[in-house]
Amino acid sequence: MSQHLTLDQIRSFKGTYPKQLWALFFTEMWERFCFYGMRGMLTVFMVSQLGLDDPTANLQYGAIQAFVYAFTFIGGVFADKVLGFQKSLFWGALLMIAGGLVIAFSPRDLFYIGICFSIIGTGFFKPNISTMVGQLYHADDSRRDAGFSLFYAGINVGALLGGIVMIAVGKYVSWNWAFALVAVVMTISLVNFALTRKSMGPIGLSPLHPDMPAARRKFYEVATYVGSLIAIPFILLLVTNTRYTDLFMYIIGPATLVYLAWEMRKFNAQENKRLGAALVFILFSVLFWAFFEQSGGSLSLFALNNLRHDLLGIPMDPNVVNNGANSLFVIVFAAPLGILWVWLSKRKLEPNSVVKFGMGFLLLALAFYVFYATIFFADADGVTSLDVFTLGYFVITFGELCLSPIGLSLMTKLSPQGVQGLMMGMWFLASAYGQYVAGLLGAGMSIADEKATNMAKLQSYTDGYLQLGIYALVAGIALIVISPGVRRLMRGIH
């Protein structure tokens, strides 16, 4: 494989974005088509096809999503230590293609087995492509946040297309075809990366020592591939029994902190303070995702049962809006917001990352108040306004844009070279805990009684959304209050 480009040549790009960002943009875009398409289908599929009640579907959704994100931590570690980011990405894509084909063959019978392939595949794919984006930039390059904002827009182009197309195909054509789309689209993602990987130069190549004998290098790589396949029955057991999910979540978080503490011995005091700051961001992001990820759980069932089928007078499936509105708003506003941060930075007016995080929570609080306010627009049957619901997504998008792309960028800024994959994995592990808690919160808001009226369901969900709004408000204020202390830990990283 050609490696003519050096890191310095890649990083000395002119303008706002390096050309390699576009290659990663499209690879990630197609993968996110599959991920968010699947996410949008999960609860609707489980309720309508597998016969689960609302609370069980919420818990099952939380478990599946938690494992998807938990395995990004494991994928990040193996990329750091054995495969490198490029081979990790290839292996993850192949597993996701296999998962889509397995479910497509028999959605009802093989659903959970296919999901296990997708969980491991996403674990190898997701954290490593984000880390490669970070490596396109010098440590002090102020264009990094703008780059991650553009990359984030790519994520959301995929999420918009997948969220709209896959739920529509599943509900109105066939669930087999909906899941088969995963294999088709992931193949496009993989081909795109294969055609552009030469432009990455040394980024993402194997971290194993160049002097290591080829046979040993091959053994480590093959052992990683085989080990991930052997894990499938174990993951199947965890995903299908939520009590095991609880046990797994109690163990994996503390275990990762112990592992990070072990790795921190290698770094100096300043590097470890920065890692401490990264952990503050990771901790708060658990809370953020626990609220935000109601979109795939309780908000998905809310859209199924409690919303009118018209948006601004135009006929519209509420689940399509639930899956697509946030992504559409991100696509429209991510790049302008990224450019705004660069413009403010040049004038020394850009808010620091901790304050941006705090703003994210305040906007999240406002969004959940809007979701709560849908109850004021309901008719006697408990069906309410899709327009107001969509406004909630408009607000929540700005909260997400203040937090998620900034968080991705910060993990690459605050992490020393040897643990970048690990820290990106921990960032996504925080999402795993968020998803897990989201499932618990969604189950707590929902009513198991099949005879419950639509109005009773509406009342139960909106009361829950009001509570989440209050919690988000408190978290946002707390973050802004502690921002000076966190900034001191960050030691010059903005």
pLDDT for 183: 92
Share of the chain above pLDDT 70, in %: 97
pLDDT for 311: 92
Q: Which residues contact 451 (CB under 8 A, 6 or more apart)?
A: none
For residue 2, being part of any structural domain is answered with: no
For residue 7, being part of any structural domain is answered with: no
For 371, the token pair is 């979701």
Q: Is the pLDDT of residue 105 over 60?
A: yes
Q: Is the pLDDT of residue 2 over 50?
A: no
pLDDT for 492: 64
Q: Is the pLDDT of residue 402 over 60?
A: yes
For residue 3, being part of any structural domain is answered with: no
Q: What is the CA radius of gyration of the chain?
A: 22
- Say if residues 301 and 446 touch (Cβ distance below 8 Å): yes
- Say if residues 465 and 321 touch (Cβ distance below 8 Å): no
- Say if residues 85 and 128 touch (Cβ distance below 8 Å): yes
Q: Which CATH number characterizes residue 23's domain?
A: 1.20.1250.20
Q: Is the pLDDT of residue 345 over 50?
A: yes
Whole-angstrom distance, CA of residue 217 vs CA of residue 208: 7
Q: Is the pLDDT of residue 176 over 80?
A: yes
Q: Given pLDDT bands bounded at 50, 70 and 90, which one contains residue 417? A: confident
Q: Given pLDDT bands bounded at 50, 70 and 90, which one contains residue 386? A: very high
pLDDT for 375: 94
pLDDT for 494: 58
C-alpha triplet 350, 354, 355: angle, nearest 5°: 55
Q: Is the pLDDT of residue 365 over 90?
A: yes
pLDDT for 414: 83
Instruction: Over range 27-49, report the average pLDDT.
Output: 87
Q: Is the pLDDT of residue 130 over 70?
A: yes
Region for 214 from its dihedrals, namely left if φ exceeds 0, alpha if ψ lies in -120 to 50, beta otherwise? alpha
For residue 10, being part of any structural domain is answered with: no
For residue 4, being part of any structural domain is answered with: no
For residue 114, being part of any structural domain is answered with: yes
| Among the ranges given (27-41, 199-213, 238-252, 323-337), the one the predictor scored with the smallest mean pLDDT | 199-213
pLDDT for 300: 87
For residue 6, being part of any structural domain is answered with: no
- Give the DSSP H/E element, type plus range, for residue 155: helix 144-172
- Domain of residue 327: give its range: 15-490
Average pLDDT taken over every residue of the chain: 86
Long-range contacts of 206-210 (CB under 8 A, 24+ apart): 206/82, 206/83, 206/84, 206/87, 207/79, 207/80, 207/81, 207/82, 207/84, 208/82
For residue 245, being part of any structural domain is answered with: yes
Q: How many CB atoms lie within 10 A of CB 344?
A: 12
Residue that wins the pLDDT comparison between 111 and 77 = 111
Whole-angstrom distance, CA of residue 183 vs CA of residue 160: 18
Q: How many domains does the chain have?
A: 1
